[in-house]
Chain A
């Protein structure tokens, strides 16, 4: 039964003189390889050029602030409970008078630590959070670390920087590409542009 019309019947017929002379076949082969020699290479040179990983990529964690710059997290501990790798440690504290500018809720996380060796980047903390406080960034990795004291990330590394806020405006690959291009050309300036492959 023939499934495709690309299949070629094998035959044991005598080779013709041209086939036995090798050289025409070799010339054809050389033509093919030289075409590849000059072809555009598909390689993305990774550390210099980074490829777009999609809007739902789960990268490094971020603790969001609200529009007034107050931390959203209320230290309910649902993320720590949801975490299958038990990577999240939270110490809660009560908001004092005069701290309303810093924390949105009356209870806040005095300590919020993620163990980056334990974290499996499943995103369940993101789903569990009732306050939209914790997210896994789609545009940044956890950088490579080699020291023990770099493993556990505290609030200094996790809480959002108000001057460089994390937003996820693009939800399809095409939207993300156009957004990247806009950032590269300077039309949109809220986030530092990434290299575009």
Chain B
């Protein structure tokens, strides 16, 4: 790897990192706005125009609060908890393809931190690690409510990861690749996976709600039962990191949903747009503008799913713990297995039949 390539990669990763943080920051504002609007209120509108400076005000408040560690807490792990949560949340954004490529002086720069051939596996690995942040933090607090919240988080994440992985297998059977870039490229134009995998999509999105600890699966921080759940003892920026990690996770999972099921940066009629742009602006600029449009489409989809998360949050009440487990093990996993069988049958029999019929 020569120096330019290294620098380009560094810059890409930096941009992805900053973008993730900014989107997560403004998700907190968006969440409060959406909450307000759904409840017939205005939401925050005092700090800056439309309340746009609210995230900064919140961050300032978080920083200036007392950084308290309970006397009987395990100090190292107490600090490690939110750090781990933040770290794992940020790691996953590296492999997401935000767009196709930029052409700068003959260099092809992929709008993706790392093009890994096991991209989706990497995301799964990192997301599975995310539960350690909650688990470690909850245990280190030396508080029964925190511990209960942490245990709930761990068991919930493990249960729903199974169904999530199984629903993903159906996608992998169709794409026969683990690389996220490859999976997106296969959904060229309007050929999105959602049309082939509606059941898989429903299972996947339900599980990603559970993985992000979002309503209706926010039992780990259930206020009515567990005070604050795993972050009962946290305050100041350590609490801020936990909450922030949740929003980063939300963005990551929205991005993953849009990549896996809604074609990422692909949109119907993109080829026509591409030829028009390259004819009008030349191969290099035209290509770059087309990529930018694709990236905007990608972010549109991801932001819609962030909105969907919020929309659901202010609609559905929390599940009871036994209902959560019943849904995860007795409904979603059998459905996911059924989906795999259907997909396998379709790939084996239906696809050759259709191709034979079309030829």
Contacts and interface: CB of A to CB of B under 8 A. Distances in A.
Nearest to A32: B315
B312 interface: yes
A163 interface: no
Contacts of A97: none
A45 interface: yes
Interface stretch (A35-43, A136-144, A151-159, A181-189): A35-43
Given A30-B311, A33-B311, A36-B37, A41 B42 contact: yes
Interface string B312-323: 101110000000
Interface in A4-52: 23, 26, 29-30, 32-34, 36-39, 41-43, 45
Contact of A41 (B34, B41, B312, B315): B41
A30 B202 CA distance: 15
B315 A33 contact: yes
Contacts of A41: 37, 40-42
A34 B304 CA distance: 13
A36 B42 contact: no
Interface residues of B, number: 14
B314 A33 contact: yes
B56 interface: no
A23 B45 CA distance: 34
B316 A26 contact: yes
B42 A43 contact: yes
Contacts of B42: 41, 43, 45
Given A36-B39, A37-B38, A42-B40, A26 B315 contact: yes
B41 A30 contact: no
A29 B316 CA distance: 7
A43 B38 contact: no
Nearest to A39: B40
Interface in B275-315: 311-312, 314-315
Interface in B8-44: 34, 37-42
A33 B38 CA distance: 6
Contacts of B39: 36
A30 B40 contact: no
Interface string B148-169: 0000000000000000000000
Best-surrounded residue of A33, A42, A43 (most CB of chain B within 10 A): A33
Interface in B226-273: none
B312 A30 contact: yes
B31 to A, nearest CB: 13
Contacts of B41: 41, 43
B315 A37 contact: no
Interface in B316-338: 316
A36 B315 CA distance: 11
Contacts of A29: 315-316
B202 to A, nearest CB: 7
Contacts of A38: 37
A36 to B, nearest CB: 5
A43 B41 CA distance: 7
A30 B312 CA distance: 7
Nearest to B39: A36
A48 to B, nearest CB: 10
Nearest to B202: A23
A34 B34 CA distance: 10
A42 B41 CA distance: 7
A45 B36 CA distance: 14
Nearest to B34: A37
Contacts of B45: 45
B278 to A, nearest CB: 39
A43 B315 CA distance: 21
A38 B311 CA distance: 12
Best-surrounded residue of B45, B202, B314 (most CB of chain A within 10 A): B314
Interface in A66-99: none
24 contacts: A26-B315, A26-B316, A29-B316, A30-B311, A32-B315, A33-B38, A33-B311, A33-B314, A34-B38, A34-B311, A36-B37, A36-B39, A36-B40, A37-B34, A37-B37, A37-B38, A38-B37, A39-B40, A41-B37, A41-B40, A41-B41, A41-B42, A42-B40, A45-B45
Pick the 9 closest A-B CB pairs, nearest first.
Answer: A29-B315, A33-B315, A37-B37, A33-B38, A43-B42, A37-B38, A36-B38, A30-B315, A41-B42
Interface of B: 34, 37-42, 45, 202, 311-312, 314-316
Given A41-B40, A42-B40, 13 more contacts: A23-B202, A26-B312, A29-B315, A32-B315, A33-B314, A33-B315, A34-B38, A37-B34, A37-B37, A38-B37, A41-B37, A41-B42, A43-B41
